[in-house]
Structure 1
Amino acid sequence: MAEEYDLVILGAGTGGYVAAIRAAQYGLKVAIVEKDKLGGTCLHKGCIPSKALLRSAEVFATVKRADDFGVSTSGVSLDFSKVQKRKETIIKQLYQGVKQLMNKGKIDVFEGTGRILGPSIFSPTPGTVSVEMANGEENKMLIGQNVIIATGSSARTIAGLDVDGSQILTSEEALELESLPTSMIIVGGGVIGIEWASMLADFGVDVTVLEAGPQILPTEDIDITREATKLLKKKGVQIMTSAKIDVDSLEKSEEHVSITYEMNENKERIQADKLLLSVGRRANVKGIGLENTDIEVEDGSIVVNEFYQTKESHIYAIGDVIGGLQLAHVASHEGLIAVDHLARKKPTPIDYLSVPKCIYSHPEIASVGLTEEEAVEKGYKVKVGRFPFKGIGKALVFGETDGFVKLIANEENDDLLGIHMIGPHVTDMISEAAIAKVLDAAHWEVAQTIHPHPTLSEIIGEAALAVDGLAIHS
Structure 2
Amino acid sequence: MVDYDIAIVGGSLAGREAALKAVRQRAKVALVEPLLRHDLIQLQGIGEISNFVRKVNDLTRFGVCTPTDGEYQVSLDKALLWGSAVAANVREQLSPAFLAAQGVDVIVGSGCFQAAPDLSFVVNNRKLSARNFLLATGSHPAVPEIEGLHQAGFLTLTNVWQVLGSSTPPKSWVILGGTPQSVEMAQALARLGYEVTFIVNSPCIISPLDPEIARLLQAQLEVEGIRVYTQTTVTQIRLIEDKKWLQAGNIAIETDEILVAIAEKPFIESLNLAAVGVKYNSRHLLVNKKLQTTNHRIYACGDAIGGYNLPNIANYEARIAIKNALLFPRYEINYQAIPWGILTQPMLAQVGLTQRQAENLYGNEILVLRQYFKTLASAQLTDETTGICKIIVRRNGEILGAALLGSQARELINIIALAIVEKIKIDKLANLSPVYSSFSEIVEQTASEWKKQRLESRKSQDFWDSVFHFLRSR
* TM-score, length-scaled by structure 2: 0.88
Q: Which amino acid is 1:63 matched to?
A: V
Corresponding residue number in structure 2 for 1:235: 224
SS at match of 1:175: helix
Cα 1:337–1:242 change in 2 (3 A) is closer
Unmatched segments (≥5 aa) in structure 2? 455-474
1:118 pairs with 2:115: yes
| Separation in 2, partners of 1:459, 1:164 | 48
Q: Distance in 1 between matches of 2:307 and 2:356?
A: 20
Counterpart pick for 1:141 among 117, 127, 139: 127
Find out whether 1:205 has 2:162 as its counterpart.
no
Structure-2 residue corresponding to 1:102: 99
Which runs of structure 2 are paired with 1:59-70 in the superposition (5 Å)?
Answer: 59-70=52-63
Letter in 2 for 1:281: E
What do residues 273-293 of structure 1 show as CA deviations (whole Å, max 9, x unaligned)? 111112111233311121221
**Structure-2 residue corresponding to 1:93:** 89
How far apart in 2 are the matches of 1:414 and 1:236? 41
2:411 corresponding residue in structure 1:
428
Q: Which deviates more, 189-198 or 229-238?
A: 189-198
Q: Structure 1's 448 and 347: CA in aligned 2 closer, same or farther, altered over 3 A?
A: farther
2:391 maps to 407
Distance 1:165 1:11 in 2: 33
Residues 1:468 and 2:461 aligned together? no
State the Cα distance separating 1:308 from its structure 2 match. Answer: 1.8
Alpha carbons of structure 1 residues 9 and 165: separation in structure 2 relative to 1, 3 Å: farther
1:405-436 Cα shifts (integer Å, max 9, x gaps): 0011112x210111100011211221111101
Rg larger for: 2
Aligned counterpart, 2:49 = 56
Which region of structure 1 is more displaced relative to structure 2, 18-27 or 297-306?
A: 297-306
User: Is 2:250 the counterpart of 1:251?
Assistant: no
Report the CA distance between 1:45 and its aligned residue.
2.2
| Residues 252 and 428 of structure 1: CA distance in aligned 2, closer, same or farther (over 3 Å) | farther
C-alpha contact (below 8 Å) 2:370/2:388 kept by paired residues: yes
Aligned counterpart, 1:77 = 73
Maintained 8 Å contact 1:375/1:417: yes
Q: Which residue among 108, 119, 139 is the counterpart of 1:153?
A: 139
- For residue 349 of structure 2, the aligned residue among 363, 366, 390 is 366
Give the deviation of 1:166 after TM superposition.
Answer: 9.8
Give the match's secondary structure for 2:165: coil
User: What does 1:193-342 align with in structure 2 at a 5 Å threshold?
Assistant: 193-247=182-236, 249-251=237-239, 253-254=241-242, 256-262=243-249, 267-298=250-281, 300-324=283-307, 326-342=309-325
1:207 and 1:95 map into 2 onto residues whose CA distance is 31
CA shift, 1:167, in A, is 5.2
Counterpart residue type for residue 422 of structure 2 = L
Q: Which moved more, 1:82-91 or 1:310-319?
A: 310-319
In 1, Cα distance between the equivalents of 2:297 and 2:112?
A: 16
Query: In 2, distance between residues paired with 1:62 and 1:283?
Result: 37
Q: What's 2:464 paired with?
A: none
Instruction: Report SS of the residue matched to 1:468.
Output: helix
Say which SS state the counterpart of residue 379 (structure 1) adopts. helix
Count of equivalent residues: 446
Per-residue deviation at 1:161?
A: 6.4
- The verdict on how the C-alpha distance between 1:243 and 1:431 changes in structure 2, with shifts beyond 3 A counting, is same
> What per-residue deviation string (whole Å, max 9, x for no partner) do you get for residues 4-63 of structure 1?
2222110141221111111111222211111122xx5xxx222x4223232222212221
TM-aligned CA deviation for residue 372 of structure 1 = 0.5
**Any idea what the Cα deviations from partners look like across 1:349-373, whole Å, max 9, x if unmatched?**
2321111011111111100011111
Q: Secondary structure at the match of 2:206?
A: coil
**Other-structure match for 1:397:** 381
Please, what TM-score do these two structures have when normalized by structure 1? 0.88
AA aligned opposite 1:233: E
Residue equivalent to 2:441: 458
Question: Could you tell me which of 41, 45, 62 is aligned with 2:39?
Answer: 45
Residue 382, structure 1, aligned to residue 366, structure 2: yes
The offset of 1:326, in angstroms, is: 4.7
Secondary structure at 1:28's aligned position in 2?
coil
Distance 1:199 1:300, change over 3 A: closer
Once the two structures are TM-superposed, the CA of residue 117 in structure 1 deviates from its matched residue by: 1.1
Return the alpha-carbon distance in structure 2 between the equivalents of residues 451 and 348 of structure 1. Answer: 35
Distance 2:129 2:352 in 1: 41
Measure the CA separation in 2 of the matches of 1:470 and 1:458. 19
Provide the rounded CA distance (Å) in 2 between the counterparts of 1:153 and 1:359: 19
Residues 111 and 122 of structure 2 are in contact (CA less than 8 Å); yes or no, is this contact kept in structure 1? yes
Question: What is the distance in 2 between the residues matched to 1:291 and 1:213?
Answer: 33
> Percent identity of the aligned residues?
25
> Closer, same or farther in 2 for the Cα pair 1:228/1:299, shift >3 Å?
same
- Find the aligned partners of 1:185 and 1:444 in 2 and give their Cα distance: 46
Specify whether residues 11 and 65 from structure 1 end up closer, same or farther in structure 2 by C-alpha distance, changes over 3 A only. Answer: same
Q: Does 1:418 align with 2:405?
A: no
Question: What's the offset of the Cα at 1:115?
Answer: 0.9
Q: Distance in 2 between matches of 1:386 and 1:151?
A: 40
Unpaired runs of at least 5, structure 1: 133-138
Query: Secondary structure at 2:35's aligned position in 1?
Result: coil
- Greater shift in the superposed pair: 417-426 or 51-60: 51-60
The answer on whether the counterparts of 2:338 and 2:352 sit within 8 Å (CA) in structure 1 is yes
8 A contact 1:383–1:408 mirrored in 2: yes
| Structure 1 residue 442 corresponds to structure 2 residue 425 | yes
Paired with 2:151 and 2:266, the residues of 1 have a C-alpha distance of 21
Q: Partner of 2:110: helix, strand, or coil?
A: strand
The 1:275–1:300 alpha-carbon spacing in structure 2 relative to 1, beyond 3 Å, is: closer
Change (3 A) 1:51 1:291: closer
Cα distance between partner residues in 2 of 1:283 and 1:467: 43
Kindly indicate whether the alpha-carbon contact (under 8 Å) linking 1:337 and 1:348 is maintained by their aligned counterparts in 2: yes
In structure 2, relative to structure 1, the CA distance for the partners of 1:7 and 1:90 (3 Å cut) is: same
Q: Alignment partner for residue 123 of structure 2, among 131, 139, 142? A: 131
Q: Amino acid of the residue matched to residue 275 of structure 1?
A: I
